[in-house]
């Protein structure tokens, strides 16, 4: 799972692979919200989302989000499961 770092001046370094997947560029503004402890960043200038006509267009869209290897993905899932309130 990619990690972002909070800097002393309140800045957050977002990993390059997340920025590329997100399609946001340097100095673009984002709307920042918090709801139930979850922070969301929404670009103010949204690009038009391409129309996807085939389900196969989605293949690989989440690659790397939870890890690069099967072991990293399993560890991410275990960490998420362990955080659930039971």
pLDDT of residue 46: 63
pLDDT of residue 71: 93
**Is there a contact between 42 and 31 (Cβ–Cβ < 8 Å)?**
yes
8-36 pLDDT, tens digit per residue, is 999 988 888 888 888 888 888 888 999 88
> What distance in Å separates the CA atoms of residue 35 and residue 38, rounded to the nearest whole number?
5
pTM > 0.85: yes or no: no
The backbone region for 67, taken as left when phi is positive above 0, alpha when psi lies in -120 to 50, beta otherwise, is left
pLDDT of residue 29: 87
């Amino acid at each position: 799972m990619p990690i972002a770092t909070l800097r002393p001046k309140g800045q957050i370094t977002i990993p390059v692979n997340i920025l590329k997947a997100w399609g946001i560029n340097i100095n673009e503004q984002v709307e920042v919200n918090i709801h139930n402890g979850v922070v969301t960043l929404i670009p103010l200038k949204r690009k038009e989302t391409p129309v996807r006509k085939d389900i196969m267009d989605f293949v690989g869209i989440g690659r790397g989000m939870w890890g690069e290897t099967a072991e990293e993905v399993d560890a991410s899932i275990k960490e998420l499961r362990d955080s659930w309130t039971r």
